[in-house]
């Protein structure tokens, strides 16, 4: 038992140092629970483990044991861009990112209808690093968005068939944006801009769970929009000396809306071995209308920017199944289709988004009565022939994302 606990500690430390990232529809990350990930991130109505604190706090009311659950999904994104006029290829050098999710869920007493939970997870993020001197260097060279949500949650069994839950979200995050400036010095070095700032915001996560029949369960959940505000960002410009007065280093403010998500989930138990889940997400991306940077000191060369994003609200459809082999082993598979919120004309190299199919698989293994390991694999690939009206980039983006994940669950 002691050993198991120290594994947990180690993981927690590793995770708290890790960063957050992945592109999956906009810059939303759908990797918050290994069991759900194995079923294409569906399963908000399937009561299995503590990750329901994220997927549906209402369903979490029916998780029977206390538990700790910690997982990570190293994400390997790779985008290639082919400029249509020059037929020049550029490939991102984005680092592997590590979205994580950690959950703790307790009952005050064994007989209590209440559950108290804490969820820490990374629902949005993205790191894109384009090679130096790529054709779009004056639009973007690097963007890193990180968010971590802390969500204390209370869940309650209203009846034996209905559960509700609500969590308060405190979000912290950071943004780092870099691009080259088209001014050159006598050594042939171009100017560069780096915007760096910390952000925070608030929101909530609520849900209801209904055991409709013996076999059919339903879930309805809502995660609110979180407006991440950068108040005290730092803008640094590295330009030829003669131009330094035109590009004063200084503060900037900005904000980024993380969209609200409605989810309708169903779970159908065919028999003791086979479970099916289907979820629909409706994501309020319309909130991401403009990306604006407001510099404290403006000059004729450094004006505030307002870049149109004009994202649209969008759906994702998720289907998955779980097969229980025996007391120790479970296997899962899933597929999803996600519709891109990004309209033609507004695709950017930092989020080269497209409609996509997602394929996943997963496995669980019970090491000991109280200790379970879950693992999953996520893969998607999508292509977008894109124009951007703001930068006039014209070309084709092709992105592949591979995200293997693992989590450990301890029950007591």
Instruction: Give residues in contact with another protein (CB under 8 A).
Output: 76, 78-83, 85-89, 91, 133, 135-140, 179, 182-186, 188, 239-243, 301, 379, 381, 383, 390-393, 396, 398-400, 402
Whole-angstrom distance, CA of residue 377 vs CA of residue 357: 14
Task: Compare residues 128 and 208 and give the one whose CB is closer to another protein.
Answer: 128
Rounded alpha-carbon distances, angstroms, from residue 57 to 8, 161, 220, 275, 392: 23, 15, 10, 20, 44
Q: Do the Cβ atoms of 401 and 378 come closer than 8 Å? A: yes
The three-class DSSP label of residue 3 is helix
246-284 CB burial, b ≥16 within 10 A, e <16: bbeeeebbbbbbbbbbebebbbbbeeeeebbbbbebbbb
Rounded least distance, CB 21 to another protein, Å: 15
Residue 391 Cβ vs another protein, minimum distance, rounded to whole Å: 4
Cβ atoms within 10 Å of 185's Cβ, excluding its own: 13
Closest CB 243 distance from another protein, rounded Å: 5
User: For residues 91 and 231, which CB has a smaller minimum distance to another protein in the complex?
Assistant: 91
Q: Which is nearer to another protein, 148 or 393 (CB)?
A: 393
Comparison of 9 and 394: residue with beta carbon closer to another protein: 394
Pick from 63, 21, 42, 1: nearest CA to 333: 42
Complete DSSP assignment for 106-125: E-SSTT-SEEEEEEEE--BE
The bridge status of strand 76-83 relative to strand 394-411 is antiparallel
Closest CA to 388 of 321, 358, 343: 343
188-194: long-range contacts at Cβ-Cβ below 8 A with a sequence spacing of 24 or more?
190/137, 191/237, 191/238, 191/239, 191/240, 191/243, 191/247, 192/141, 192/237, 192/238, 192/239, 193/235, 193/236, 193/237, 193/238, 193/247, 194/235, 194/236, 194/237, 194/238
Which CB sits closer to another protein, 82 or 373?
Answer: 82
Q: Least distance to another protein from the beta carbon of 87, Å?
A: 4
Q: Which is nearer to another protein, 162 or 402 (CB)?
A: 402
CB of 43 to another protein, least distance (A): 24
Query: Are 356 and 364 within 8 A, CB to CB?
Result: no
Q: Give the whole-angstrom CA distance, residue 67 versus residue 193.
A: 46
- Nearer to another protein (CB atom), residue 136 or residue 338: 136
The CA distances from residue 55 to 2, 206, 285, in Å, are: 30, 9, 19
Q: What is the C-alpha to C-alpha distance for residues 116 and 59, in angstroms, rounded to an integer?
A: 13
Nearer to another protein, 49 or 180 (CB): 180
Write down the least CB distance from residue 332 to another protein, Å. Answer: 19
Residues 6+ apart with CB under 8 A from 242: none
Residue 74 or 284 having the CB closest to another protein:
74
- Least distance between another protein and beta carbon 33 (Å): 22
Could you tell me the smallest distance in angstroms from the CB atom of residue 377 to another protein? 10
Nearer to another protein, 137 or 332 (CB): 137
Rounded Cα distance, 57 and 66, in Å: 15
| Smaller CB separation from another protein, 111 or 186 | 186
- Rounded to a whole number of angstroms, the minimum distance from the CB of residue 34 to another protein is 18
Minimal distance in Å, beta carbon 146 to another protein?
22
Q: Give the nearest distance from C-beta 29 to another protein in angstroms.
A: 18
């Amino acid at each position: 038992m002691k050993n198991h606990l120290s594994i947990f500690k180690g993981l927690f430390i590793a995770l708290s140092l890790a960063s957050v990232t992945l592109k999956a529809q906009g810059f939303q990350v759908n990797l918050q629970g290994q069991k759900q990930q194995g079923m294409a991130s569906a399963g908000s109505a399937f009561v299995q483990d503590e990750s329901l604190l994220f997927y549906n706090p209402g369903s979490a009311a029916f998780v029977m044991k206390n538990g700790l659950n910690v997982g990570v999904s190293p994400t390997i994104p790779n985008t290639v861009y082919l400029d249509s006029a020059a037929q020049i290829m550029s490939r991102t050098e984005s680092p592997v990112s590590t979205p994580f999710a950690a959950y703790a869920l307790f009952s005050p007493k064994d007989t209590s209808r209440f559950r108290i939970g804490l969820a820490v997870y990374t629902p949005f993020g993205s790191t894109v690093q384009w090679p130096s001197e790529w054709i779009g260097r004056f639009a973007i060279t690097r963007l890193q968005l990180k968010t971590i949500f802390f969500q204390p949650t209370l869940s309650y069994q209203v009846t034996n068939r209905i559960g509700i839950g609500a969590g308060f979200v405190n979000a912290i995050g950071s943004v780092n944006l870099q691009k080259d400036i088209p001014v050159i010095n006598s050594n042939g070095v171009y100017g560069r801009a780096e915007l760096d700032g910390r952000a925070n915001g608030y929101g909530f996560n609520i849900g209801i769970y209904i055991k409709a029949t013996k076999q059919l369960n339903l879930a309805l959940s809502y995660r609110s929009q979180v407006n991440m505000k950068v108040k005290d960002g730092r803008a640094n410009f590295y330009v030829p000396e003669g131009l330094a007065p035109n590009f004063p280093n200084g503060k900037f403010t900005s904000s980024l809306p993380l969209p609200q998500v409605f989810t309708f989930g169903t779970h159908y138990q065919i028999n003791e071995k086979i479970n099916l889940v289907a979820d629909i997400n409706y994501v309020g991306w319309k909130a991401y209308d403009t990306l604006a940077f407001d510099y404290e000191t403006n000059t004729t060369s450094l004006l505030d920017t307002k870049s149109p994003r004009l994202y649209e609200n969008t759906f994702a459809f998720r289907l998955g199944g779980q097969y229980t082999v025996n007391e120790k082993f479970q296997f899962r598979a899933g597929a999803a289709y996600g519709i891109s919120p990004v309209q033609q004309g507004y695709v950017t190299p930092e989020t080269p988004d497209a409609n996509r199919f997602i394929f996943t698989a997963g496995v669980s293994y019970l090491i000991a009565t109280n200790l379970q390991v879950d693992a999953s694999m996520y893969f998607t690939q999508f292509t977008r022939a894109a124009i951007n009206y703001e930068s006039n980039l014209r070309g084709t983006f092709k992105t592949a994302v591979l995200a293997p994940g693992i989590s450990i669950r301890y029950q007591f």
